[in-house]
Structure 1
Amino acid sequence: MSMDRRSFIKGMAVSGVAATAAGLAGCAAAPNKGGAASGSGNASASAEAGAKRYSFETPPKSIEESQIAETYEADIVVVGAGVSGMVCAASAAQEGADVILFAASTAPVFRGGSNHGIGTKAQKRYGIDYNANNLSPMIKKQMADAGYLIDQKKWWKWINHSSESMDWLIDVMEEAGWETTIEVGYDDPDGVFSFQPSAHNWISDEVTNGSANGQGLVVSELERIILENGCRIDYRTVAQHLVRDDDNTGRVSAVVAQNEAGDYVKYIGRKAVVLATGDFSGDREMMEKYCPWAMDLLDENWSLDYDAGFQFGGLYPGDGQKMGLWVGAGWQKVYPNAPMILGMIAAQLPSQIGVQNYTGPNLNMNGERYMNEDTTATYSVMSVMNQPERTAYFIWEAAYAYRYDTWCVGGTTIDQDNGPKPKTSEEILAEWEAAAENRAYVKADTIEELLSQLDGIDAEQAKATLERYNMYCENGVDEDFHKDPRYLAPVKTGPFFGFKYQVDPSAFLCVTGGLRTNENMQVCDENDVPIDGLYNLGVMVGDSYGTLYNFGVEGHNLGMNCITFGYLVGRDLARA
């Protein structure tokens, strides 16, 4: 089944949230924190120890051969039509492999469009010196942020193969007529959060913000490649269970699915079955077991939508993770799984660049500052999670708009000739005025009046905090949190703006990881032994992230788990 590319592109809606948001050896041996993240192989032991047993841990009854209406066979069977599945299938198809891709969705699915690349031909055009030899500080920081629990072999394999995989995709897109753009980097004065211009995206006449929706162009082109190479795509087909030979101890040889007509279909993979089915945040039991601290961010009204793009409060039901567990896969070793919480990025706070937190006074309901505000938006939201009612207040004066000559928006590119353009101080101020008119912000001529409009805040304490903060600005020393003096912007002269922010399901995008996975994307059992014939890709790859997905390497999941690993798995399986 195909689709008209131009119709597909024109049907894509631009998301303002996405514009700043949102890739044959044993497995890595990272420590297991807490021991709660056990796979199905440990389920009975956990039950005997008094641990709760979840319904997803019990495999369903297998579909009998007599119930199978049709059987298809190919070299490689890919389950899922997200970016990672489409990249894998297209890569294998170009190498001459016979590929079948099937998916529960009605078309390819995607979110955002930022793809992190290292040493690519696009970067070289701009003279960007970004390569494996100068990445060590950034990688060390990412490992430290994750407590050194995550699998470094995956990260370095991505780094070592990023240029060849991204250059392949650049060629695919530019041969189709799409323009490659590179988003601006971030120059943190302290160097802690700095990163080079490295997030690649693609734009067209209809898709002008590649960071928001450029991945729609990507999956459309990949679908074309798959079909033009004579391979098969079946949409509206939901995987039910894997077939593992020798009484569930041998090779994974097939996957059974149910199509739109309700018939059971068996897909035999002569070389491999590759799972690329997305996250498990739509299954509350899986979240309770593997990511319990994010449970309060799940939408109580969540409903399953396999076509979902940016859907907050829970995304997919973990089909691939469950099927892997049922055939003996281990769970990842990092516990808990790392969620993607967009948080402040989604709040559109007054920041010069989307990854940055608002660096003026951040207050809680008690009217107190609670952090050094000079950090990223994602880390800021983690601090808010620990405040009363997960609530924060941001207060600034109108003159703050002139603190920067230009304000970058999500998707701003380094040459500024394509994609979203930076905004002037006047444009930013006009946006704040409009937000106040729409009651997204509050506005007042005096601090007292402003605080009276901010529901829930201790106005008396907040006024005292702001007075003390303004004194720090005058003296050039933050006596509470010792923030960089460059970010001590006073809040003294009206008019003033304020914003109340609460971390809720609208901040939660998805959860990362799942099945234990080695650096070659082979799914492994709890003894780190690869299960023959079974691979997985994309956001479901285990042990890629720890603590949370911090957006500190822009477009990392797309660039690593989806693009690089999808490309390598497809190519290498085709050549095997």
Structure 2
Amino acid sequence: MRLSADIVIMGSGAAGVSAADAALAKGKKVVIFEKRPFQGGVANCAIQFIIVRNEKEYQDKAFQLLYEYSNYNGNPAVIRQYVNNSWRTKEFIERMGVKMKAADLVPLEDLGAPERADGFPPALNVHGDDWMALGRGKGHGGALICLNGRRDIEKRGGIYLLDTPLTDIRMDEEGKVCAAVGVNNQTGEEVVVDCKAVIICAGGMMDDPDMIKKHTGFNYTGKNAPNGGNVTFNCFPNSKQTGDGHKLAWKLGGAVGAVSIEGHDLIPGPGIEMSTAWLTYNQFKIMTEQPYLWVNANGERFLDESLSNNHMAINRSIRNQPGRVSYMIFDDDTRRHLEEEGVDYFYFVFPADKLTDIKGQFDDLINNWKNEHVFMEDTLEAICEKAGIDESGLKKTLDRYNGFCDSGVDEEFAKDAKYLRPVRKGPFYAMRVFCGGYNTMGGIRVNGNMQVITDAQKPIEGLFAAGDNVLNEIYGNPIIGGLGAAYFAMPLGFAAGDSASDYIDTMS
């Protein structure tokens, strides 16, 4: 089959649907390739949207926060594209008939305020208003955005090629994009679309262990992490994110940007999460939010544990430990505290005032689910033996740490005294915790026009990219913290759709 279009878009997620919307608004003919038999990809899971208001002073403050967050290592032109186009996300979502509920409207003077950060670095989570997209029934708002977006785009003349991965991008003799090629998964039919521009919005590489190892240093294993430490945990199982867009961009001479995996720290194994990290069987996600003792495999503390609900900080700290693995440990007095007095932290996705039957939850995971990463023992010696923690190292740590708890002063990492809880009274509880990722971030280099660039930072004519695969331009090269989110992907998609359309206009 042969088609023609102005712009081909690879991927129908948050960046793809917004790129299509922007291009159609500029009168361009659009074809979207999607490898799954349905639209949206992991953007179907989106619920939260940080929106930067369409006000210059507000946008300038948001820009400054994000640029500083990257340690001035991000691309300021791309950060500006995100900031200036963020307001279009809310306008698009509401235009698609999806209702939005304000979770936290942040005035200009409070941008970057730590008390509003809710488990994330302030610059990352408080650079705009916090809105929730309301789904239908139990579904996430993102799924409705992607569905209604597809219907709207098709109504306006856009074409979706579902179950048809884009496999090749062709260039003409002048080195400009001239066609995109895909193959239908069901029929095997090749689809060629003659076009003037391609926008890569294909997400990350979370489902390709070889690419993850090469570009991040992690060894990806199955859900129960049977191969030991140094693993990532896939929050979106079977997402089909295999770095297809990266491979095409690099094949055409695109520069290789930094790739990272960030997100929530996670206990691997069965019995904790359902199909995604946000659907849980029990309260273990809440337990790992608490600011109690964390150690590495050597039994040593490695951070101020009051950061345990700052997901970027704890994830990065775990990454730096031996085997990229960590352990959270508490005793029976702390168990009673959590059940009778209540939690010290909770993340808004998993609200709770008090925990219930912690012993029963551990027993269920250990004996019924056969989870290999949670431990409940009468002695610390048994905890160390089962969990693989160095016993002498842990005992040295506890001698110091319990002394800090008694004196009310953490002389090591200056943790707030109200979070200093000793580990003395059995039974003892431990959880083996790994770095987790919503997705990989970065890998494709772009300029401020969202054009894919070479190592010499020259644009590849007609090739653009947006979404998670360019977040290295937001967070920096290398990436030192961040997350993939629909609210980052969509503004960059709008920018890419605009730029690709303008590029075509200059050609004619």
Scaled by the length of structure 1, the TM-score of the pair is 0.68
Structure 1 window deviating more from structure 2 (431-440 vs 375-384): it is 431-440
- 1:369 and 2:301 are equivalent in the alignment: yes
- Equivalent position of 2:191 in the other structure: 265
- Equivalent position of 2:8 in the other structure: 77
Deviation for aligned residue 1:567: 2.0
- Equivalent position of 2:58 in the other structure: 131
Preserved CA contact (<8 Å) 1:356 1:377: no
C-alpha distance in 2, partners of 1:130/1:498?
A: 47
Preserved CA contact (<8 Å) 2:81 2:495: no
- Equivalent position of 2:463 in the other structure: 534
Matches within 5 A, 1:365-404: 365-375=297-307, 376-396=310-330, 397-401=334-338
- Equivalent position of 1:220 in the other structure: 147
C-alpha distance in 2, partners of 1:354/1:452?
A: 23
User: Out of 84, 87, 90, which is 2:21 matched to?
Assistant: 90
What do the CA deviations read for 1:86-137 (whole angstroms, capped 9, x no partner)?
Answer: 221233335543221122211113333145433449xx9xxxx993344366
- Equivalent position of 2:77 in the other structure: 153
- 1:252 and 2:185 are equivalent in the alignment: no
Deviation for aligned residue 1:158: 1.2
- Relative to 1, partners in 2 of residues 1:78 and 1:281: Cα closer, same or farther, differing over 3 Å? same
- Relative to 1, partners in 2 of residues 1:90 and 1:110: Cα closer, same or farther, differing over 3 Å? same
What secondary structure does 1:511 align onto? strand
The amino acid across from 1:85 in the alignment is G
Deviation for aligned residue 1:361: 1.0
What do the CA deviations read for 1:156-195 (whole angstroms, capped 9, x no partner)?
Answer: 22112212x123223224xx25343537999757999334
- Relative to 1, partners in 2 of residues 1:338 and 1:313: Cα closer, same or farther, differing over 3 Å? farther
Deviation for aligned residue 1:72: 0.5
What secondary structure does 2:315 align onto? helix
C-alpha distance in 2, partners of 1:353/1:509?
A: 15
- Relative to 1, partners in 2 of residues 1:525 and 1:393: Cα closer, same or farther, differing over 3 Å? closer
Matches within 5 A, 1:299-338: 310-311=235-236, 316-327=241-252, 329-332=253-256, 334=257, 336-338=258-260
Structure 1 window deviating more from structure 2 (96-105 vs 380-389): it is 380-389
C-alpha distance in 2, partners of 1:466/1:313?
A: 41
- Relative to 1, partners in 2 of residues 1:387 and 1:531: Cα closer, same or farther, differing over 3 Å? closer
What do the CA deviations read for 1:366-402 (whole angstroms, capped 9, x no partner)?
Answer: 3332332232233323333343443322122114426
- Relative to 1, partners in 2 of residues 1:567 and 1:533: Cα closer, same or farther, differing over 3 Å? same
- Equivalent position of 1:162 in the other structure: 86
- Equivalent position of 2:230 in the other structure: none
- Equivalent position of 1:107 in the other structure: 38
What do the CA deviations read for 1:183-234 (whole angstroms, capped 9, x no partner)?
Answer: 79997579993343744332234236xxxx3321211111111112132111
C-alpha distance in 1, partners of 2:33/2:262?
A: 26
- Relative to 1, partners in 2 of residues 1:283 and 1:495: Cα closer, same or farther, differing over 3 Å? closer
- 1:523 and 2:470 are equivalent in the alignment: no
C-alpha distance in 1, partners of 2:462/2:74?
A: 24
Where structure 1 has 5 or more consecutive residues not aligned to the other structure, the ranges are: 1-69, 303-308, 412-419
- Equivalent position of 1:33 in the other structure: none
- 1:117 and 2:50 are equivalent in the alignment: yes
Deviation for aligned residue 1:405: 6.5
- Relative to 1, partners in 2 of residues 1:204 and 1:105: Cα closer, same or farther, differing over 3 Å? closer
The amino acid across from 1:472 in the alignment is F
Deviation for aligned residue 1:517: 0.8
RMSD value, Cα: 4.0
The amino acid across from 1:151 in the alignment is N
Preserved CA contact (<8 Å) 1:312 1:509: no
User: Out of 506, 511, 532, which is 2:440 matched to?
Assistant: 511
C-alpha distance in 2, partners of 1:140/1:566?
A: 20
Preserved CA contact (<8 Å) 1:352 1:406: no
User: Out of 172, 178, 182, which is 2:103 matched to?
Assistant: 182
- Equivalent position of 1:11 in the other structure: none
C-alpha distance in 2, partners of 1:443/1:353?
A: 17
What secondary structure does 1:90 align onto? helix
What secondary structure does 2:494 align onto? helix
Deviation for aligned residue 1:142: 1.6
- Relative to 1, partners in 2 of residues 1:170 and 1:190: Cα closer, same or farther, differing over 3 Å? closer
- Relative to 1, partners in 2 of residues 1:517 and 1:101: Cα closer, same or farther, differing over 3 Å? same
C-alpha distance in 1, partners of 2:113/2:86?
A: 23
Deviation for aligned residue 1:564: 0.4
C-alpha distance in 2, partners of 1:106/1:71?
A: 20
Residues matched between the structures, number: 458
- Relative to 1, partners in 2 of residues 1:366 and 1:85: Cα closer, same or farther, differing over 3 Å? same
Matches within 5 A, 1:270-309: 271-283=196-208, 286-287=211-212, 289=214, 291-294=215-218, 296-297=219-220
The amino acid across from 2:76 in the alignment is Q
C-alpha distance in 2, partners of 1:388/1:572?
A: 45
Q: Which runs of 4+ in 1 moved over 6 A?
A: 183-187, 189-192, 345-356
Deviation for aligned residue 1:285: 5.6
The amino acid across from 1:365 in the alignment is A
- Relative to 1, partners in 2 of residues 1:313 and 1:479: Cα closer, same or farther, differing over 3 Å? farther
Deviation for aligned residue 1:340: 3.3
Scaled by the length of structure 2, the TM-score of the pair is 0.76
User: Out of 94, 97, 102, which is 1:171 matched to?
Assistant: 94
- Equivalent position of 1:18 in the other structure: none
C-alpha distance in 2, partners of 1:524/1:285?
A: 24
